[in-house]
Structure 1
């Protein structure tokens, strides 16, 4: 009886899919290559035709995740045009939506300990995603007098950190971290406070 991994003709992707499922249920360090091979329907030895170890498998999952993530936030930015403010806020919401829809990819990217510089391909797509956020920040910060304008990389990093914090604490069911507010509301109000501090939106009446 043929193994499933060979039958569908894409063993490499079958292993990534298996890893994503295991990462969601056990975390990035809670599974072995043998478990991924079993779930993909192949022998453990077959894994090494494509990946040198578990870290390389997770790195490929992270690379694929960044591809989806970069496309998603680029789409969010484009949908907000021509308003720089709407585009900037949309990229923050897209971050939250990505984490909810693709937990396996999210964990591979941000919680596995895998460096984005592990492979040139991973670094390139991670930088593409970061570039979308920095572009959104650049467009919005044009409304700030130059002498008071923070660097775009700092601006986008602040909002990335805020988005990441909301995801980690309140959108992924972390034990003991319940909030009376929806994650979307927390993120929107946090970004609003930040942008008011920069003078980009007027204070509430």
Structure 2
């Protein structure tokens, strides 16, 4: 493939885009740096001007993904929701929407094995993004007496796990995992059952 005329400022971005394309096709361990360079239309040597290895490149993609994800989650949470429950459910729908629209970013963030502690910058953006769900959980539990209130970190983590499971099984068109219900309905009903079990919403709501 002939090299494209990249300037210094956008070579890094071209490599990240090439990485995302390969992640979607082959997964986070199914390609080499040389293949990422080929996808971006540059020589393999060009990759090492910006990244030390494949994990470095995937971490850069994850960083971008968390920035986008955080913006989406904050928008969903604060977009004029009529109640704490509606805001909480909106963040769940936003999670599914992100996974569907940006599968390469989603895989880099949550399925590549890249730790959010790999760099202070990555930790900062990831913490902000996932902190939205915890904030929504905190708001939802305010009506429960403090001594009976479950830690918001606990049930926000449970909702995260539920959301991730719905994404993995039903929201990415994996073979053999067709559901008779839309993923959004599965997640919303699951959240409702879970929150009622914790006493966070009334049984008849």
The normalised TM-score by structure 2 is 0.94
Tell me if the contact between 1:5 and 1:14 (Cα under 8 Å) persists in the aligned partners.
no
Deviation at 1:175, TM superposition (A): 2.8
RMSD: 1.6
Map of 1:193 onto structure 2: 193
Once the two structures are superposed, the pairs formed by residues 1-205 of structure 1 within 5 Å of their partners are 3-4=3-4, 6-7=6-7, 9-204=9-204
Post-superposition Cα deviations, 1:107-151, rounded to whole Å, max 9, x if no partner, equal 000111111111111111111112111111111110222222111
The number of residue pairs the alignment matches comes to 204
Q: Distance in 2 between matches of 1:121 and 1:113?
A: 17
Unmatched 5+ stretches in structure 1: none
Q: Distance in 2 between matches of 1:53 and 1:40?
A: 16
Q: Distance in 1 between matches of 2:171 and 2:30?
A: 21
Post-superposition Cα deviations, 1:20-58, rounded to whole Å, max 9, x if no partner, equal 011001111111111111111111001000000000000
Tell which deviates more after alignment, 50-59 or 74-83: 74-83
Q: CA distance change for structure 1 residues 5 and 59 in 2, over 3 Å: closer, same or farther?
A: farther
Where has structure 1 moved over 4 Å in runs of 4 or more? none
Q: Distance in 2 between matches of 1:35 and 1:18?
A: 9
Unmatched 5+ stretches in structure 2: none
